[in-house]
Amino acid sequence: MHATVIENLIEKFEQLPGIGRKSAERIAFHILEHMSKEDAVSMSNIITEAKEKITLCPVCQNLTDTSPCKICSSPKRDNSVICVVESPEDVSAIEATNEFNGLYHVLHGSLSPMDGITPDDIKINELLLRLSDSTVKEVIMATNPTVNGTATAVYISKLLAPFDVKVTRIAHGIPIGSDLEYADKITLIKALEGRQTM
Amino acid sequence: MHATVIENLIEKFEQLPGIGRKSAERIAFHILEHMSKEDAVSMSNIITEAKEKITLCPVCQNLTDTSPCKICSSPKRDNSVICVVESPEDVSAIEATNEFNGLYHVLHGSLSPMDGITPDDIKINELLLRLSDSTVKEVIMATNPTVNGTATAVYISKLLAPFDVKVTRIAHGIPIGSDLEYADKITLIKALEGRQTM
């Protein structure tokens, strides 16, 4: 027996990823009870503003409010290396390491014949366009180690064969800090296969 | 190295209860990547609309978009019983049981001398006003079974002594479906004290 407006607010938050009914209620009541009117208006504005201002970078296809994006336009980045990822979240995760200084390419998904996602549905052609001159020397396939992610990496690496670029795949193995005995079989096999001289 | 607008969006969601940095990022990217522009605008509008339209019911102090609220104005509710709770969420929880047909009174907090919350800071006077005629026969204290909630219940029950109303407290005991051996001591004591003839 919530007021209709409250019910609408709860339902909006319930649609967000990771938010169930109970969390959505908690958030809605927080906004109504504890958030100042200014804060609520500012939250509302930032949602529409973000949606209006954020577009895909014409070069790397990452989400951006400049064109090209900050990473693509930075003179400090090494433009001979492109790291191919599935989503903008993956770019954030790699950037957070502060260890990669090259450029990115965001596919916005992975090939999935079961779900009808074909090469034309993700940003593969945009990647090929970036290889038209000989600036890029290496393409790192950093798609997820899932069936679809791996298939996508293999598919793209074949497409890249005619180009004069080195195509690499990020390493798979035992995550740091975890316990060998709890690793799954496939990870263990990959870790053995990928062993390196100490 | 998020675009400023994306960072602002993430920070807004991070301020909500139960949402950490990672969830806020996930929600922000969901809005930017997967939500339609119409849905985002609608979400933005509902936040400001809710904040504008929702006020406190002049009778029970619950959040409402009508005045008085739907419960207070319903002819089907028993207006001789008032259930006193700390927050609008508590009203939702009790309404969800479909077992209570009386009215509510929302205190918007509990007495907490440590945090400087005195009787004037919560809606106690508004409760007393509702007892001015002799319609109300019973007031059920359903504040939380915490130190502050219990103190609030005791404080209010003393204030109500001069009025011709029965003051009751919701039962405390072993929750249904749980295991006796894992109940804490105080709950177990309350369960024994509150035993009833079978």
pLDDT per position as a tens digit, B147-167 = 999 999 999 999 999 999 999
pLDDT tier at B75 (50, 70, 90 boundaries)?
A: very high
**Residue type for position A112:** S
Question: What is the least distance, in Å, from the CA of B92 to any CA of chain A?
Answer: 7
Q: Nearest to residue B53, comparing CAs of A31, A27, A45, A12? A: A31
Residue B126 tokens, joined: 């508004």
Please say if the pLDDT value at position A1 is more than 70: no
Q: Nearest to residue A115, comparing CAs of A167, A64, A152? A: A152
CB contacts, 8 Å: B63 with chain A: 3, 6, 29, 32-33
pLDDT tier at B77 (50, 70, 90 boundaries)?
A: very high
The label of the residue with tokens 């549905």 reads A121
Phi, psi of B87 (to 5 degrees): -145, 160
- If phi > 0 it is left, if psi is from -120 to 50 it is alpha, else beta; for residue A74 that is beta
Classify residue B117 by its DSSP letter. B
pLDDT at A183: 81
DSSP bridge pairs for B141: B84, B169
Please say if the pLDDT value at position B83 is more than 70: yes
A9 vs B26, B33, B50: nearest CB: B50
Preferred mutation among B11, B43, B85, B104 to probe A, highest tally of A CBs within 10 A: B43
| Predicted structure pTM score | 0.78
Number of CB atoms found within 10 A of residue A194's CB = 11
Please say if the pLDDT value at position A133 is more than 90: no
Q: Which domains does chain B have, with CATH numbers?
A: 2-53 (1.10.8.420), 56-197 (3.40.1360.10)
- Asked whether the beta carbons of A176 and A158 are under 8 A apart, the reply is no
Counting residues of chain A whose pLDDT is more than 70, the rounded percentage is 99
Q: Is the peptide bond before B88 cis (omega within 30 degrees of 0)?
A: no
pLDDT per position as a tens digit, B97-152 = 888 999 999 999 999 989 999 999 999 999 999 998 889 999 999 999 899 999 99
The two beta strands, B166-169 and B138-141, are parallel
Is the CB of A16 less than 8 angstroms away from the CB of B8?
no
Look at residue B55 and give its three-state secondary structure: strand
The label of the residue with tokens 């201002």 reads A53
Is the CB of B29 less than 8 angstroms away from the CB of A88?
yes
pLDDT tier at B47 (50, 70, 90 boundaries)?
A: very high
Q: For A20, name the nearest residue in chain B, comparing CA atoms only.
A: B18
- Report which secondary-structure segment, H or E, holds B130: none
Question: What is the least distance, in Å, from the CA of B62 to any CA of chain A?
Answer: 10
Please say if the pLDDT value at position B197 is more than 80: no
Instruction: List Cβ neighbours of A114 (8 Å cut-off, separation of 6 or more).
Output: none
pLDDT at B59: 96
User: Counting Cβ atoms within 10 Å, is residue B31 exposed (0-12), middle (13-18) or buried (19+)?
Assistant: buried
pLDDT tier at B1 (50, 70, 90 boundaries)?
A: low
CA angle B143, B149, B152 (to 5 degrees): 95
Count chain A–chain B contacts defined by CB atoms under 8 A.
148
